Amino acid sequence: MPFVLRAKKLDFSSGGQPWVVVLQEKEARTLGVVLGDRIEVRWGRQRAIVVAYHTRKKVHKGEIGFFREIWRYRKIINDEPITIKVLSRPPSIEAIIKKLKGEALSYEEMHSIISDIVHHKLSKVEITYFVASSFLKEFSNQELYYMTKAMAVTGEMLKPTRKVVADKHSIGGVAGNRTTMVVVPIVASCGIFIPKTSSRAITSSAGTADTMEVLASVKFNMKQIIKMTKKIGACIIWGGSFRLAPADDYIIRVSHPLAIEPLDKMVVSIMAKKVAMGITHLIVDLPYGPTVKINDRPTAIKVKNKFLYLANRFGIKIKVVISEVHEPIGRGIGPSLEARDVLRVLQQKDYRPADLEIKSVKLAGSLLELTGKAPAGKGHMLAAEALASGRAWSKMREIIGAQGGKVNIDSEDLTLAAARHRFYASFSGKITAIDDKMVDQVARILGAPHDKLAGIYINKRLGQKVRREERLYTLYAQNADRIELALEALKQNRIFTIDRMNVYEGLKG
């Protein structure tokens, strides 16, 4: 039985999904709308499935309050009549229950779940049941394929227009790992089409999109991307500005509280985005180590095999490069400092970070071989040559220009935060460990990634010998308060572990 209420816009946010409406408490009871019930609301020609909350005073009897998420995306006029209807259990819920009971899902069932997630028909609690269902009984490869496909098709898709659409993807977790911004111009300068979408930092101090944003805009829609890449064959943009496998965001949101992301889900979400982008050739950079997402080689190999399986099902040519990491890559941590590292490599400055260049050349070389641009074993040379000759930097200038940035920028022109604090070794010794996670955490405390100018510059690498009073790293922040907060954190955990060589005195830094 439908009821009619009057609309009221409220300045409240539930965080996006599911959309939330608010009913006056007593009236909700009369209407039989239990707290958390899924209801259908209709007005004019519009329709949405939302979750109902209760309030005592914010809306009156006869009113229905809309959270910001709804009226930001849909036109709603205060006082206009809204028809509401309590809904029964949709097929996606039946499918989730089936999965919870340990049964395998068909493509249709998987699609109903993913589609309902995307269309705000499932609440957080319901999505949680779905995510939880994968724990005790892992999804079969077949189900992972179904899920990947469903995630791709329920979002925007780029029509494949050429034979080679290349991509490079790094599994996150390594501080400063900005190889994408070096690999893309190298590969594109060799004539390979590479429309690269990247993510912003979620829990880390910078994502590729955050760092690229220091140099140019990264927010573009599908149409703009198609136009841009047609001309110059490449882009480095933020994937979140259009709806690429949008179910992923909602799934991540319920994984966040437990800080658990099943690795299967990670592979699915990456591959769904590649499928949606019409990628044909893919290099995956899969680092493992004590402080990053994947901690050991056997797990890395398992993840690699999932990538190979899915890529094969979708007809994507793939190479997964496994590497062991124990320290940040590059010297800057935080968007501006990382962008400077990238420019130093592309502009071939003498003081460029060698590790970033070496890793980027290796990945670019593999991608050139995978796409057939270089014969086996020769990709590395071709990539190094593109960098040394300045062709890669020329291509990057084209990309920066197309994305509205300053094409004549020099690495040393980049602004960094004003408040600085330098850390020195308090005794001589050898650096035996660098805590990648702590580097990231301190950079966040300093303000990264939202404050693009903040971060850390690392002066020393793992295995290096340092003398007393030699500089170890520098903190950058907008103001002294932020530096103070970082120093507080650094009292409890240090970034560098130095083994004393001669003298014995208190550790610092």
Residues at the interface with its own copies (CB under 8 A):
1, 11-16, 22, 25, 29-30, 32, 34-36, 38, 53-58, 68, 89, 93, 96-97, 100-102, 123-126, 128-129, 132-133, 135-137, 202-203, 253-254, 256-260, 444-445, 447, 450, 485, 488-489
The conformation of residue 296, written as its DSSP 8-state character, comes to S
Smallest distance from the beta carbon of 486 to its own copies, in angstroms? 9
Q: How far is the C-alpha of 111 from the C-alpha of 95, rounded, in Å? A: 10
What does DSSP assign to residue 448?
T
CB nearer to its own copies: pick between 51 and 183: 51
> CB of 71 within 8 A of CB of 9?
yes
SS3 193: coil
Q: How far is the CB of 101 from its own copies (least distance, A)?
A: 6
Query: Which CB atom, from 86 or from 232, has the smaller least distance to its own copies?
Result: 86
Report the amino acid identity of residue 383: A
**Nearer Cβ to its own copies, position 14 or 474?**
14
Our measurement of the distance from residue 208's CA atom to the centroid of its chain's CA atoms, rounded to an integer in Å, reads 8
What is the identity of the amino acid at 408? N
Contacts of 224 (CB under 8 A, 6+ apart): none
Closest approach, Cβ 15 to its own copies, in A, equals 4
- 38 vs 178, beta carbon nearer its own copies: 38
Minimum Å distance from CB 293 to its own copies? 16
Q: Can you give 90-113 as a three-state secondary structure string?
A: CHHHHHHHHHHCCCCCCHHHHHHH
Closest approach of Cβ 450 to its own copies, in Å? 5
Q: Which helix (H) or strand (E) holds 167?
A: strand 166-170
Q: Please, which residue, 260 or 354, has the CB nearer to its own copies?
A: 260
| Minimum distance of its own copies from residue 134's CB (angstroms) | 10
CB of 330 to its own copies, least distance (A): 23
Output 102 or 506, the one with its CB closest to its own copies. Answer: 102
**How many angstroms separate the Cα of 217 from the Cα of each of 140, 177, 210, 239, 401?**
40, 20, 10, 12, 10
The whole-angstrom separation of Cα 288 and Cα 266 is 15
First to last CA, the chain: 67
Q: How far is the CB of 416 from its own copies (least distance, A)?
A: 19
359 DSSP assignment: H
CA distance 173 to 150: 27
* C-beta closer to its own copies: residue 37 or 436: 37
Considering beta carbons, is residue 238 or 314 the nearer one to its own copies? 238
- Contact assessment for residue 32 and residue 111, using Cβ atoms and an 8 Å cutoff: no
| Pairing assessment for the beta strands 3-9 and 63-66 based on DSSP bridges | parallel
